[in-house]
Structure 1
Amino acid sequence: MLSTHFDMKDLGEASYFLGIKILRDRANGVLKLSQRTYIEKILKRFNMHNCRSTKAPIVKGDKFSKAQCPQNDDKREEIRTVPYSFVVGSLMYAQVCTRLDIAFVVGMLGWYLSNPRSQHWKVAKKVLRYLQGTKDLMLTYQCTSLLDVVGFCDADFTGCIDDKKSTTGYIFMMAGGAVSWKSVKQTLTTSSTMEAEYVACYEACCHDMWMQNFISALGVVDSNCRPLKLFCDNSAVVAFSKNTRSISRSKHIDVKFYFVKEKVVESLIDIKHISTNSMLADPLTKDLPIIVFQEHVSQMGLLEA
């Protein structure tokens, strides 16, 4: 496609792209993306290449707040000697490219970049220890005759201790692996779980509209032939998205969130309910028990060779 507009030289199949190793198994119809080399590089850079591994970057019950941040110059001086911001920046690139399993904790660590505490530094090192034990995980895609994009959206109501704002998480899957994801703190304060989940649903729908146009332009999937399925584990959100009437308890939700209803009416998006246990976006919004976290990671398409 690009060769019709630019002078280009075909160097054959790509094996590396911006630090991401591309592995193909055409016989079995499998494509894998690995950042093992990049992970080993950052582990060595921060002298963590011989560290003991851990099973999860964050576990159920871990909580962090600004109250933990240094309150005087002496304590701030202590933390200035550690490369906290460099570690978080390095982790950010990994989670953006293939390691969505650390997206939530890396986003949380980013909240304290301006004034971190030793506790936050310990968590950053724990993420490195987690990568030490899981550097062989690869984002894996399987050949399939049905290239549908399926979305999952979730929210952690008032997850932030400091300002009581919720966390949005969404993930889009295709061919057995994640193709797009996000974990971010919401910009507005919601007053119920339903509202927090609806905000997450809106964010996912906006991204879905962009992604459908992008995929259609590639000509790989006819994304306009059927509505995209978006799964949510909150039944009230599913009902509200299909209800054309306003509900008194939700009137203060900004008008832009009626965008979701509009797309449902236009049959561009089909919002369906799913059980919380099957919600793939859960690790993008909150800390989970280790076993549950590991199950979700594999279901996202992060598999070992």
Structure 2
Amino acid sequence: MDDRGQLKWFLGIDFQHQPDGSYCMSQERYVNAILSKFNMTDCNPAATPTDTNTRLLTASAEKQENNQDTQFPYCQAAGCFIYLMTGTRPDISWTVSKLSQFLEKPNTTYVQATKRLLHYLKGTKHYILKYSAKPKDELTMFTDSDWTSDIEDRRLASGYLTTLGTAPISWNTCKQATVVLSSCEVEYLGLTDAVKETLYLRNILGALGKTLNGKTPVYCDNQGTIALASNTSSQQSHETY
């Protein structure tokens, strides 16, 4: 091993060491490379990663055959988005998860949604993650779920984001395998994944010698789910395992 000084570049991610001891992570160079790869360098920026009025559905065989955008390297674009999302961009997590569900037969709408995301990246390529030198040992989890967005198989999408201090350290968006019958069930499944991730991160931080300040708050916006989780926790606290 040899000491090469301050970390500046690692696997497509720029690291900048600030005078106050904090570190900034950025993938601006990687975004520029993506835009150049798909001939979108001079595109106009977009304010959001996806258009809320666009409904992404599976194309029929006839429409797929007549698709004029079949030559667009959709799978390559999705792969680039996944790496970017995993590294420093939790803001595109839901969009990338949605686009990744149709890698085999992307229709024209999905190609347009991919280009829309490239427009968004053009305007937000300067986004960074900043981690302070001495973050407060406060682990916080946020979770949410979407019950009605997929009208084809009715399987929900859920996601979570975890922060340590003020910066995100873990995030995920996925499509659940279970079809549920109420918004409470939707949020409860999402909350389950979030709590599992919270316990995992607490164990890691404990192994690293971090002393967390009490319990980890998990934020959920469904009152039925909160009541159900609180009631379950209260019942279990009176049992011995």
TM-score of the superposed pair, with normalisation by structure 2? 0.91
Q: How much does 1:70 deviate? A: 4.4
Superposed displacement of residue 159, structure 1: 2.1
3-state SS in 2 of match to 1:211? helix
The aligned counterpart of 2:40 is 48
| Structure 1 residue matching 2:102: 3-state secondary structure | coil
**AA paired with 1:131?**
L
User: Cα 1:145–1:90, aligned 2, differ >3 Å: closer, same or farther?
Assistant: closer
211, 214, 222: which is aligned to 1:234?
A: 222
Which of 55, 65, 75 is 2:66 aligned to?
75
CA distance change for structure 1 residues 69 and 182 in 2, over 3 Å: closer, same or farther? farther
- Does the alignment pair 1:114 with 2:90? no
Return the match for 2:200 from 204, 210, 218.
210
Separation of aligned partners in 1, 2:87 and 2:4: 23
Corresponding residue number in structure 2 for 1:280: none
Decide whether the 8 Å contact of 1:69 with 1:115 is kept in 2: no
Partners of 1:73 and 1:165 in 2: CA distance: 24
* CA shift in 2, pair 1:149/1:73, >3 Å: closer
Cα 1:131–1:199 change in 2 (3 A) is same
Q: CA deviation at 1:243?
A: 1.0
Q: Which residue of 2 aligns with 1:222?
A: 211
- Could you say what the CA RMSD is over the residues aligned between the two structures, in angstroms? 2.1
| TM superposition outliers: structure 1 runs of 4+ over 6 Å | none
Instruction: Report the counterpart of residue 58 of structure 1 in structure 2.
Output: 50
Q: Give the Cα separation in 2 of the matches to 1:118 and 1:16.
A: 37
Q: Answer yes or no: is 1:102 the counterpart of 2:95.
A: no
Which residue of the other structure, out of 13, 18, 26, is the alignment partner of 1:25? 18
Q: How far did 1:211 drift?
A: 1.1
Q: How does 1:138-153 map to 2 (within 5 A)?
A: 138-143=128-133, 146-153=136-143
Residue among 133, 155, 170 paired with 2:160: 170
**SS of alignment partner, residue 163 of structure 2:** strand
The structure 1 residue matched to 2:76, chosen from 64, 83, 86, is 86
1:80 partner SS:
coil
Unaligned runs of 5+ in 1: 1-7, 245-260, 267-305
Structure 2 residue 13 is matched with structure 1 residue 13: no
Whole-Å separation in 1 of the counterparts to 2:181 and 2:36: 45
Query: Where do residues 123-138 of structure 1 align in structure 2 (5 Å cutoff)?
Result: 123-138=113-128
Q: What letter matches 1:127 in structure 2?
A: L
CA contact (8 A) 1:148 1:174 kept: yes
Shift of 1:143: 4.8
Is 1:37 aligned with 2:8?
no
Deviation at 1:59, TM superposition (A): 3.1
Aligned residue number for residue 273 of structure 1: none
The one-letter amino acid paired with 2:226 is V
* C-alpha contact (below 8 Å) 2:64/2:107 kept by paired residues: no
1:297 alignment partner in structure 2: none
Asked if the contact 1:22/1:31 (under 8 Å) is kept, the reply is yes
Q: 2:191 aligns with which of 201, 205, 209?
A: 201
Aligned residues: 238
Q: What are the superposed Cα offsets for residues 100-149 of structure 1, whole Å, 9 maximum, x if unpaired?
A: 11111111111111111111101101111110111011112345562211
Superposition deviation, residue 50 in structure 1: 1.2
Partner AA of 2:113 in structure 1: V
| Amino acid across the alignment from 2:211 | D
Structure having greater relative contact order (Cα 8 Å, sep ≥ 6): 1
Report the Cα offset of residue 175 of structure 1: 2.5
- Show structure 2 runs of 5+ residues with no match: none
